[in-house]
Structures are given as structure tokens and as C-alpha cells.
Amino acid sequence: AKGCGKNVFALFDKKMNEHASERVTFLADLRQAVELEQFVLHYQPKVDLLTGKVTSVEALVRWMHPRLGMLAPDRFIRLAEEGGMIAELTEWVMRTACLQAKAWQEADLAPVRVAVNLSPFHFQRQDVKQSVCAVLGETGLDPSLLEIEITESALMQNDEYTCRVLSELREMGVTISVDDFGTGYSSLSYLHRFPINTLKIDRTFILNMTKSSEDQAIVTAIIAMAKSLKMQIVAEGVESVEQLETLKDQGCHEIQGFLVSRPVNAERVARFFTDEDHL
């Protein structure tokens, strides 16, 4: 039994080492990927519930890993933050998204905004305004066609600094959205202090809304609060017609989710930029 225990530890040790060395390799891969720009953006439309037209598209990054194939952001964003590569990755995402939006505009497709996710980690540590200015200058995109998504939890850190940076971006004409809303604990009076255009209700509430009266009540309260603050309201993760109908009844402005489209490449998302009703 004694020997057995020892083997277990030896095995555990070996696994730990493998795990650690896998992580080191993966980090090195990611560092190289940032250098070689081994990423693509997929885009997911947000649709206006009254007109059925696309208002903006969210850019979602994927890593084209040479051995592992296409990897979702949940597999590498944290690592990019910890490895000090998030600013560079975000700039690549912003530049690529802005160039794409500019190309759509020049192709005379309807003017849709492109939304980029900002990591809270990046937001608190780097000069985000400087990056946004640089990318807008370089790509020549009208700032009104760029939207920034920042999570509710990021809003609640270092609030004076956050408020100042967001105000500067807003003054430039950039749209500010609060992502994953409802998961933090911001109050009406707190939100009011920030120059926010849009609240995006977190997917978990939409998921449970038609089954749980508590989640339904939360969605109702968020919509009422956003309206009293004159903010636009987007429901994310809408997958069913039942959810769509409930949100319509509640007076939600826009939806985003698999019901309309999964995130797809630039070419495929552009098919949504028509005058048609996409609901």
C-alpha cells in the first residue's frame, strides 16, 4: 500500500509537470500567434426588434492554431492577459474590425457599427484611448462606426479612471456598451455616472427568463432601468422565438444570438446588411 501511494504521487507529479510544460508550450504558441497574426474575426449581428435590421456586429476573435485548429477565446484570452500580450492582441482585433467596417462602408453596404470587446485587464493597465485613436487614424474609420464593449465588472473597478476614459472615447464619437450586464451589482445611481450608450443583458438571464420568474423579473427591471437612463438595450444569447417574443413584449430594443445567426466570417455576416427584416 505504501509503494502504491508513492506511485500515485509519482504519477501526480508527472501529470503536474506535463501540465506545466503544456502551459509553457501553449504560452509560447500564443506569443508566436500574436506575432504572426494567426487569428480571425467572426462577427455576430445585433438586430433591431422593431425593424428587423442589423444595427451592429460584434467582432469575436478565434485563434487559428497550427496544430489544434480553431480555438475559441475562452481558451486563450486569460493567457494573453497573464502573458502580457492582451494589448497587442486587442489592437490587432480593433484594427482588423475597423478595416473590415471601412471596407463594408466603401462597398456601400448599410452602415453598420462594429463592436470590439475590451479586456478589463487591458482597460485598467494600458492607454486604451491612445490605442483607439491610433487605430481610427490608421484605418480612417468614422468613430461613429466603432463600438466598445466593456464588462459590467470592469466598470466597477477604478471608477474615476474608467469614467474619464469612457467619456473621452464617447466625446470622440465612439459608442460605449456594457457587456454581461446584470452579473455585477451596479445600481441606477452608479450607472448614471458613466457615459454609456447601451446595456447588454447577460446571456444567463435570457437563458432562464422563460423558465424562471425571478430571471424574468430581473430582465424586466434591467429594461426599465435602461430606459429611464435613456440607454439602448440589447439582449444577448437569444436562441428561441419564445425568448424573442417575451423580449419584444418587454420593450427590449435589440437582440443578438443564435436565433438570428451564430458568429460567422465577414463575408457571411455581410449578407445580413440588407433592408430585409431578419427576424
Residue nearer to Ca ion on the CB measure, 56 or 131? 56
Q: Does 45 bind ligand C2E (CB under 6 A)?
A: no
Q: Which neighbouring-strand residues pair with 227?
A: none
Identify the residue among 77, 146, 148, 231 touching ligand C2E (CB under 6 A).
77
How many of the other CB atoms lie within 10 Å of CB of 74? 7
d(CA 28, CA 130): 28
Name the DSSP class of 264.
Answer: B
Residue nearer to ligand C2E on the CB measure, 123 or 273? 123
Residue nearer to ligand C2E on the CB measure, 79 or 172? 79
Identify the residue among 142, 224, 239, 264 touching ligand C2E (CB under 6 A).
239
Note whether 238 and 255 are within 8 A (CB): yes
Q: Does 186 bind ligand C2E (CB under 6 A)?
A: no
277 binds, among Ca ion, ligand C2E, none (CB under 5 to 8 A by kind): Ca ion
Which residues have CB under 8 Å from 206's CB, separation 6+?
A: 219, 235, 236, 237, 238, 243, 247, 257
- Total residues in contact with ligand C2E, by rule CB under 6 A: 19
23: exposed, middle or buried (Cβ count in 10 Å: 0-12, 13-18, 19+): exposed
Q: What angle do CA 224, 225, 227 make, to 5 degrees?
A: 65
Identify the residue among 49, 71, 87, 93 touching ligand C2E (CB under 6 A).
93
279 binds, among ligand C2E, Ca ion, none (CB under 5 to 8 A by kind): Ca ion
Q: Which residue is nearest to ligand C2E (CB)?
A: 257
The dihedrals phi and psi of 84, each to the nearest 5 degrees, come to 75, 25
Strands 146-151 and 54-65: unpaired
**Residue 90, Cα to own-chain centre: how many angstroms?**
11
237 binds, among ligand C2E, Ca ion, none (CB under 5 to 8 A by kind): ligand C2E
Piece of the chain touching ligand C2E by CB under 6 A; list 29-37, 182-190, 221-229, 257-265:
257-265
Note whether 33 and 63 are within 8 A (CB): yes
Q: Does 117 bind Ca ion (CB under 5 A)?
A: yes
Q: Which helix (H) or strand (E) holds 40?
A: strand 39-48
Q: Does 277 bind Ca ion (CB under 5 A)?
A: yes
Q: Does 70 bind ligand C2E (CB under 6 A)?
A: no
Q: Which helix (H) or strand (E) holds 69?
A: strand 69-71
119 binds, among ligand C2E, Ca ion, none (CB under 5 to 8 A by kind): ligand C2E
Cβ 141 to Ca ion, closest distance in Å?
19
Binding region for ligand C2E (CB under 6 A): 44, 60-61, 72-74, 77, 90, 93, 117, 119, 179-180, 237-239, 257-258, 263
